[in-house]
Structure 1
């Protein structure tokens, strides 16, 4: 480390410090920091960009703000001239990462993997400059391994090391089955780093074990070990669980501006600063200012949250859309007005219907029992009148407006 740093000019020393200060922002851990400094220094000395890897198993192609935590960090490396290696696990995706799973995951078909990968590409372009990204598929090398190759790869790690994974340990203790093929997932992810000669690999804290496998196998195969950068997981709108589509606590980056804004306004106050720090493009100085003003009582939490919501919409749409979304939110929630634009549903059914049946027919609820609970909880309005009796019959007229919760509106239009 000292030998490399001693070769740097004063200006190059400052550049190393500048880059490292950026990469350290908002991370959970760098393993190890000294090696990252050395790699950045060598990159500057040799005028060679670093290879920055992010592995993706395309099992859930809808990108939400939780995914953008690591994408934002990739963007920082990209802006400093380094090469982003997006690795699509079209081979490993058919096996499924067992991380955090109490049971084995369902294997994906080739068609599902291909479709999901294409969806990733389109959405990642909202954060990364995809023209400067290297796209790789690990089937290019994993599908070519013969059985002897696999045995040799497996011989470079012990069963005891693999059992260090919390999910495997827990399943074994509970007597739940662990299929042999699941042990090969971290082996393959580590071998990916060998093939790509990655200098840095990024992942969430839940990927700690898998990312360190890259260092392990690179060392076993005589390569320079990659540095692991672990990013914090972003809690969803419930403030408890990790943001996830399956938990329905997410904000998707492809959602409509009004929907994004409305969802952002439901972020718990205690998580606002984490969202500002991890998923917005605001400068660190601006984020610190917001935090200070909140702590000092100079900035109302509602106003801070509106700034957060507006920033999110502006990042994934544009300024005009952000302004319009904010105006609609004010009209609907502060002035109690209806939104300017309401989705219309053409109606050919009866002119009267039970409210529970109507909600299901309009596809606003998945089942009558779900509709009944929503009505009983006071979450349904028809023409701005709250419906509290799930047995109530609704007279359906042209332009009847049905509201579910705070943000979902539909207008019934006769054919």
Structure 2
């Protein structure tokens, strides 16, 4: 394959699964210079460490960064330890509560441990924006603020909505996009990545690079928000439709197998390291009947779990899933709970963590979603007296309850 063909293939992979790219010609020049002259370039993605754990929705952006690493990019994984302590609504209707320094650093450490499971650590540098933002000082902050007008700031969609509804907007929130844009100045980066909800902030970097005389405008790559397991809403822990990369392999496998056959291709496109040609071949195999959708979905689950755990854990999870759900057997490991006295079934489900509350337990019993020793439980007033019980909620939640 000649160089021009390699460049075209690289650009095709770069465009894959993106929502919008601003400055594609500049990206083409950077990739071409890498293939022809071995020149590298810098890209960055900023993370405010507001939560310690990542789910697959977060990794869509990481996968895209990994793709750029293959084609000449050095990645700055930017931990916003400075901006993480400033509220940014990011499309929300109210100011996000700032974090303490201790919370930021603790979450940042967890991020560092997780991100190297996707990115090549030899082509990556973890940066903290407090390094340059702490040095700005009062004069630097005023000079930065002078680069942008309030009228332009209110063009940001969520600011505009809150201003019209007379909802509070603190002055410090106006600084957030300015500081994020200044990160691009400090790192002299060529490309910045982010979600579609961050477009205003991402474009700020382009303007500030011009204002500070860098003689460049960074390109902006925006990735879509990954749909959760329900296929409707974006993946979110609060909605429960997520797959966490630190979850147990068996739980991850079961969750991934629950997605629809149609959604499976979306996950392949955004999460798999297979090429577009390989994915298209799988699609054709399913469409003509040579491949079963379930088998293709299992391969995806194995690939993802291998990335965040190991191949051994992934294959064991696949075997366990088949044993429990295909053959209707019990899991090899079931959490055990001991009770010193008789207990109402709804309370037991709640205390064992199989349900979030007694009311949820009652609802599931009425819907036929609870089994006791393999049989569907219909009596919501049932009391577990002395003995041993295997309780199952839904398809994947089990507990062994021993009443002494």
TM (normalized to structure 2)? Answer: 0.93
Q: What do the CA deviations read for 1:281-328 (whole angstroms, capped 9, x no partner)? A: 223222101222333444443333233223322332333322222222
1:7: which partner in 2?
none
Q: Give distance in 1, aligned partners of 2:39 and 2:232.
A: 42
Q: Are the aligned partners of 2:45 and 2:76 in contact in 1 as well (CA < 8 Å)?
A: yes
Q: Are the aligned partners of 2:88 and 2:96 in contact in 1 as well (CA < 8 Å)?
A: yes
Q: Which moved more, 1:163-172 or 1:121-130?
A: 163-172
Q: Are the aligned partners of 2:34 and 2:72 in contact in 1 as well (CA < 8 Å)?
A: no
Q: What do the CA deviations read for 1:42-99 (whole angstroms, capped 9, x no partner)? A: 4556643111101010002211111111111111222334211011000100113311
Q: 1:231 to 1:136 in 2, by over 3 A?
A: same
Q: What do the CA deviations read for 1:323-352 (whole angstroms, capped 9, x no partner)? A: 22222222222221111222223x1421x2
Q: Give distance in 2, aligned partners of 1:294 and 1:15.
A: 29
2:347: which partner in 1?
357
Q: Give distance in 2, aligned partners of 1:172 and 1:86.
A: 33
2:134: which partner in 1?
143
Q: Give distance in 2, aligned partners of 1:320 and 1:190.
A: 43
**Given the alignment of the two structures, is residue 102 of structure 1 paired with residue 117 of structure 2, yes or no?**
no
**Given the alignment of the two structures, is residue 28 of structure 1 paired with residue 19 of structure 2, yes or no?**
yes
Q: 1:15 to 1:297 in 2, by over 3 A?
A: closer
Q: Give distance in 1, aligned partners of 2:179 and 2:375.
A: 58
2:110: which partner in 1?
119
Q: Give distance in 2, aligned partners of 1:23 and 1:214.
A: 21
Aligned match of 1:162 in 146, 150, 153? Answer: 153
Q: What do the CA deviations read for 1:349-406 (whole angstroms, capped 9, x no partner)? A: 21x21101111222333322222222222222221122223211123424x2221221
Instruction: Tell me the CA shift for residue 234 of structure 1.
Output: 0.5
Instruction: Tell me the CA shift for residue 22 of structure 1.
Output: 2.5
Q: 1:349 to 1:363 in 2, by over 3 A?
A: farther
Q: Give distance in 2, aligned partners of 1:310 and 1:43.
A: 33
Partner secondary structure for residue 390 of structure 1 = coil
1:196: which partner in 2?
187
Q: Give distance in 1, aligned partners of 2:45 and 2:74.
A: 11
Q: Give distance in 2, aligned partners of 1:354 and 1:292.
A: 52
**Given the alignment of the two structures, is residue 378 of structure 1 paired with residue 392 of structure 2, yes or no?**
no
Q: Give distance in 2, aligned partners of 1:42 and 1:79.
A: 14
Q: Are the aligned partners of 1:403 and 1:409 in contact in 2 as well (CA < 8 Å)?
A: yes
Q: Give distance in 1, aligned partners of 2:212 and 2:279.
A: 43
Q: 1:396 to 1:271 in 2, by over 3 A?
A: farther
Q: 1:318 to 1:155 in 2, by over 3 A?
A: same
2:322: which partner in 1?
330
1:4: which partner in 2?
none
Root-mean-square deviation over aligned CA pairs:
2.1
Aligned match of 1:393 in 383, 386, 398? Answer: 383
Q: Give distance in 2, aligned partners of 1:413 and 1:198.
A: 59
Instruction: Tell me the CA shift for residue 228 of structure 1.
Output: 0.6
1:53: which partner in 2?
44
Q: Give distance in 1, aligned partners of 2:333 and 2:241.
A: 24
Instruction: Tell me the CA shift for residue 32 of structure 1.
Output: 1.5
Matches within 5 A, 1:244-255: 244-255=236-247
Instruction: Tell me the CA shift for residue 414 of structure 1.
Output: 7.0
Q: Are the aligned partners of 2:354 and 2:398 in contact in 1 as well (CA < 8 Å)?
A: no
Q: Give distance in 1, aligned partners of 2:221 and 2:53.
A: 24
**Given the alignment of the two structures, is residue 308 of structure 1 paired with residue 300 of structure 2, yes or no?**
yes
**Given the alignment of the two structures, is residue 282 of structure 1 paired with residue 270 of structure 2, yes or no?**
no
Aligned match of 1:343 in 324, 335, 339? Answer: 335
Unaligned runs of 5+ in 1: 1-9
**Given the alignment of the two structures, is residue 228 of structure 1 paired with residue 255 of structure 2, yes or no?**
no
Q: Are the aligned partners of 1:354 and 1:391 in contact in 2 as well (CA < 8 Å)?
A: yes
Instruction: Tell me the CA shift for residue 259 of structure 1.
Output: 0.4
1:83: which partner in 2?
74
Q: Give distance in 2, aligned partners of 1:198 and 1:395.
A: 66
Q: Give distance in 1, aligned partners of 2:340 and 2:71.
A: 59
Aligned match of 2:359 in 369, 372, 377? Answer: 369
**Given the alignment of the two structures, is residue 265 of structure 1 paired with residue 257 of structure 2, yes or no?**
yes
Q: Which moved more, 1:313-322 or 1:55-64?
A: 313-322
1:5: which partner in 2?
none
